[in-house]
Amino acid sequence: MGSTGVITDVEVERLRAKLGQRVEVSEPPYLTEANQDAIRRWAAATGDRNRLYTDPEYAAASPYGGIIAPPCLPYAFSRLSIGYRGGLPGVHSMFGGSHWTWFRPLPIGSRAEAETRFTDLVELDGRFAGRMFKQISMTTFRTATDPEPFAQVQGWGMRTERHTARKRNKYGGARLAHYTADDIAAIAEEYAKEQLTGPQPRYWDDVRVGDELPSIVRGPYTATIAVAFEQAWGGLFVRAHGAWFDYLRDHPAIGIPNAYGVPEPPEAVHWDSQLARSAGVPEAYDYGPERISWLATLVTNWIGDHGFLEELYVEIRGFNLIGDLSRGRGEVQEVLPVGSDGHGRVRLTVRIVNQRGDVTAKGWALVRLPLRGGGAS
């Protein structure tokens, strides 16, 4: 197939032959330990102001007895955690979503290991970009001292033909954002009013179907925000100088010429609008895992320090373009009966909505809450 970016039956079958296999990468993970710097960078990059992640004295008085990692930080423990996207050389790859399951919090100082298996390849209707596949994998996370996983994430990506996406350019008519000084002042005020439940328990007994979660605001999105997230997450193909050319030599189809004819990694679509347009998107756009992390923050803000986020399922439904303003919103969908384990659980619906009213990410969360009267927490 070469670097033409066309999906052929031969390459599809070559990729299907790897189903069920463990996937390895030659380069080391970006993070191997949830240390203080890694946790602080993640919280800052995703806008998470929960003091559980940054204030040792506050965290020591919490139910956890110390600083813990934000839920989605394990993305940085494996370059494959956002979904294995190998095979189909030259074919564009876009992040599609994640289904997280957490079994216990990750304390500061924990060393982590990750294992990824390729689980499915599904052909979809390619209205946006011709022939299209959903490529799915599962990553399991363990600490270096415990064989039982503390979290796992099913990740998937959409594999699309670049040239077809350019021709169709479904997003070419999107109204790009612009803000006045008054608009920026109003956004700043919205940030200042973000609500965190914090140390005051939110009890399962008090929750009702239809309750709304206090919304959060993120953005307006800029290339600077993309760089901040790269510093926390590490990226996939971000290399410089000789290391980049060494990688190109082994993977020639990965490079996309920029305006100067210099090959760039596919990730450059997050800060280079011309490259983004080559993939059929009108401007550079964010990382999907960012929005998933924002929704995790929406939920943990609401459940407080005594609650625990057990599951988060999010589909990325559109692009968050440079200049876009995002708001996280959610409601209580179901209050589940107290389980045999003595825990109260609540199911939520969550979503990200931009300034145009478009839903760019949506899904659900399952949370565990304490019971009044000393029930399990």
pLDDT for residue 127 is more than 90: no
Considering only 95-99, 253-257, 311-315, 348-352, which range has the smallest mean pLDDT? 253-257
Spatial contact of 221 and 320, defined as CB atoms under 8 Å apart: yes
Residue 256: what pLDDT? 86
DSSP string, 284-316: -B--HHHHHHHHHHHHHHHH-TT-EEEEEEEEE
Q: How far apart are the first and last CA of the chain?
A: 54
How do the domains of the chain map onto residue ranges?
9-369
pLDDT band at residue 371 under the 50/70/90 scheme: very high
pLDDT band at residue 164 under the 50/70/90 scheme: low
Mean pLDDT, the chain, whole residue set: 91
Residue 129: what pLDDT? 53
CA angle 315, 321, 323 (to 5 degrees): 135
Q: Return the CATH number of 9-369, one of 1.10.10.10, 3.40.720.10, 3.10.129.10, 3.40.50.1820.
A: 3.10.129.10
Residue 86: what pLDDT? 85
Top pLDDT among 90 and 84 is at 84
Residue 1: what pLDDT? 32
Q: Which amino acid type is present at position 92?
A: H
Q: Where are the beta strands (DSSP E) in the chain?
A: 22-23, 92-102, 112-124, 132-143, 146-160, 216-218, 256-257, 263-264, 308-316, 326-335, 344-354, 359-369
pLDDT band at residue 2 under the 50/70/90 scheme: very low
Top pLDDT among 311 and 374 is at 311
Cα Rg of the chain, angstroms: 21
**Which pLDDT tens digit goes with each residue over 41-74?**
999 999 999 999 999 999 999 999 999 999 999 9
Order of strands across the sheet with 92-102? Answer: 22-23, 112-124, 132-143, 146-160, 92-102, 308-316, 359-369, 344-354, 326-335, 216-218
Residue 3: what pLDDT? 45
pLDDT for residue 313 is more than 70: yes
DSSP string, 139-179: EEEEETTEEEEEEEEEEEEEEE-HHHHHHH-TTTT------
Considering only 79-83, 97-101, 157-161, 290-294, which range has the smallest mean pLDDT? 157-161
Find, among 201, 168, 158, the residue nearest to 282 by Cα: 168
